């Protein structure tokens, strides 16, 4: 069961309009840029996963290969607990981040969730300088009232290594 939007055709959702999804993606970006990370954490379903594959292995086996981030609910809770602490030294003082979300595509995923693909550029600024992460992000979203919960978020960095984007990935994409 692939989570990918097909590369060679246009597909769309039969029942969800793009602006509704864009509003949700902008809300997620707004929370992350404002460091409202506990609220971000609560956007996920309990069985949700947040994955950033290793830069040399973007199409890797999600079950077996080493990713950069592979957070289940406990993982997200720990990551947010850490980042909200003043002892997360690399994020103290916190980076300023600004996300631009675009190229949003939707389709009806075979799981019953809504498949979403978008391009995300994140500018991360600290006193020593600014870098930018460019990611091809796939989601599976599940309806939740008049909004959504994230069942799966897979952020594939375009960078071949982390060496030209500040060395590490200490923020949430």
Partner 1 sequence: MSGFAPESSRVAEMVRVSPRQTEYLRDEREPNRFLVHRKVFTDDEILARERAQVFSKCWIYVGHESEIPKSGDFVAREVAGRPVLFTRNSDGEIRVLLNSCSHRGAEVCRERRGNQRRFRCFYHSWSFSNNGDLITMPDEAGFPEGFRKEDHALSRPEAVDSYRGFVFATFNPEQEPLADYLADAKYYLDLTADQAPGEAGMIATAGTHEYSMRSNWKLLAENSSDGYHAIPVHKTYLDVQRSRGDDIAGSTEKDWKESHAFDLGNGHTVTVKQAPWGRPVARWVPSMGEHTKEIVAQNKRRLVDSYGDERADMIANLDFNMLIFPNLVINNIMAIIIRTFYPNAPGHMNVTAWSLAPGDETEEARRVRNESFLSFLGPAGLATPDDNEALESCQRGYEARPGEGWSDVSRGMDKAEPANWDELQMRTFWRHWDDLMGEKE
Write the DSSP assignment of 12-40 as a string of letters.
--SS--HHHHHHHHHHHHHHHHTT-HHHH
Which of these segments, 18-26, 53-61, 104-112, 114-122, binds partner 1 (CB under 8 A)? 53-61
Q: By CB under 8 A, is residue 20 in contact with partner 1? A: no
Beta carbon nearer to partner 1, 61 or 110: 61
Angle at 100 between CA 97 and CA 101, to 5 degrees: 130
Write the DSSP assignment of 34-90 as a string of letters.
TT-HHHHHTTEEEEEEEEEE-TT-TT--TTTS-EEEEE-HHHHHHHHHHHHSTT-GG
Q: By CB under 8 A, is residue 132 in contact with partner 1? A: no
* Residue of 81, 111, 130, 147 interacting with partner 1 (CB under 8 A): 81
Write the DSSP assignment of 149-166 as a string of letters.
EEEEEEEEE--SSSTTTT
Q: By CB under 8 A, is residue 64 in contact with partner 1? A: yes
* Residue of 6, 11, 57, 112 interacting with partner 1 (CB under 8 A): 57
Angle at 111 between CA 109 and CA 114, to 5 degrees: 40
* Residue of 12, 17, 42, 85 interacting with partner 1 (CB under 8 A): 85
Q: By CB under 8 A, is residue 162 in contact with partner 1? A: yes
Q: By CB under 8 A, is residue 130 in contact with partner 1? A: no
- Put the strands of the sheet holding 129-144 in their side by side order: 67-71, 44-53, 147-157, 129-144, 114-126, 96-108
Q: By CB under 8 A, is residue 161 in contact with partner 1? A: yes
Q: List binders of partner 1 among 31-50 (CB under 8 A).
A: none
* Residue of 87, 110, 145, 146 interacting with partner 1 (CB under 8 A): 87
Residues that bind partner 1 (CB under 8 A): 52-57, 60-61, 63-70, 72, 74-75, 78-79, 81-82, 85, 87-90, 128, 160-163, 167-170
């Amino acid at each position: 069961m692939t989570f990918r939007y097909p590369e060679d055709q246009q597909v769309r959702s039969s029942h969800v309009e793009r602006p509704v999804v864009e509003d949700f993606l902008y809300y997620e970006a707004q929370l992350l840029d404002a460091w409202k990370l506990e609220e971000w954490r609560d956007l996920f379903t309990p069985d949700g996963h947040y994955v950033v594959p290793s830069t040399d292995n973007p199409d890797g086996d999600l079950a077996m290969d080493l990713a950069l981030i592979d957070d289940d609910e406990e993982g997200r809770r720990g990551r947010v607990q850490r980042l909200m602490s003043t002892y997360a030294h690399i994020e103290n003082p916190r980076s300023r981040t600004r996300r631009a979300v675009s190229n949003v595509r939707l389709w009806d995923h075979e799981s019953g969730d809504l498949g979403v693909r978008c391009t995300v550029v994140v500018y991360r600024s600290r006193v020593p300088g600014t870098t930018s992460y460019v990611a091809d992000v796939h989601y599976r979203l599940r309806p939740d009232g008049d909004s959504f919960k994230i069942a799966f978020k897979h952020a594939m960095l375009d960078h071949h290594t982390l060496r030209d984007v500040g060395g590490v990935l200490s923020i949430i994409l």
